[in-house]
Amino acid sequence: GAVVSQHPSWVICKSGTSVKIECRSLDFQATTMFWYRQFPKQSLMLMATSNEGSKATYEQGVEKDKFLINHASLTLSTLTVTSAHPEDSSFYICSAPGQVLKREQFFGPGTRLTVL
């Protein structure tokens, strides 16, 4: 099956710094990717939809200026958490859809962000 990778798998940073998380589709092209956030012992919540060649679409309540998304190519989307604070500590997961008719989603392994 299709593989989605994320880098880094975990990151610890100081409050006020910015962190970039990469999401790559390894063996297929993805014009759209999704970014989810999962707080401890909670479900995955969609943050934004990343679109290659255009602006990302953010879910209600998600700060666009804080969570910068860039879909640089058909295989790469990046999420940058700007001026991170402890409340941004979470598990960030990306996914890429597969064939339209199958409504498949291929998930990355996630990135654990801890902001001190």
Least separation in angstroms between CB 61 and other proteins: 13
By the rule CB under 8 A, 49 interacts with other proteins: yes
By the rule CB under 8 A, 109 interacts with other proteins: yes
Least separation in angstroms between CB 16 and other proteins: 28
- Binding residue (CB under 8 A) for other proteins from 46, 62, 68, 76: 46
Which DSSP string corresponds to 9-77?
SEEEE-TT--EEEEEEESSS--SEEEEEEE-TTS-EEEEEEEETTS--EEPTT--TTTEEEEEEETTEE
Pairing outcome for strands 4-7 and 19-25? antiparallel
Q: Which amino acid is at 34?
A: F
CA 102 from chain center: how many Å?
22
By the rule CB under 8 A, 103 interacts with other proteins: yes
* Closest C-alpha to 74, from 27, 29, 32, 21: 29
Measured from the CB atom, the residue of 75 and 106 that comes closer to other proteins is 106
By the rule CB under 8 A, 90 interacts with other proteins: no
By the rule CB under 8 A, 97 interacts with other proteins: yes
User: Which residues are at the interface with other proteins (CB under 8 A)?
Assistant: 32, 34, 41-46, 49, 93, 95, 97, 100, 102-105, 107-110
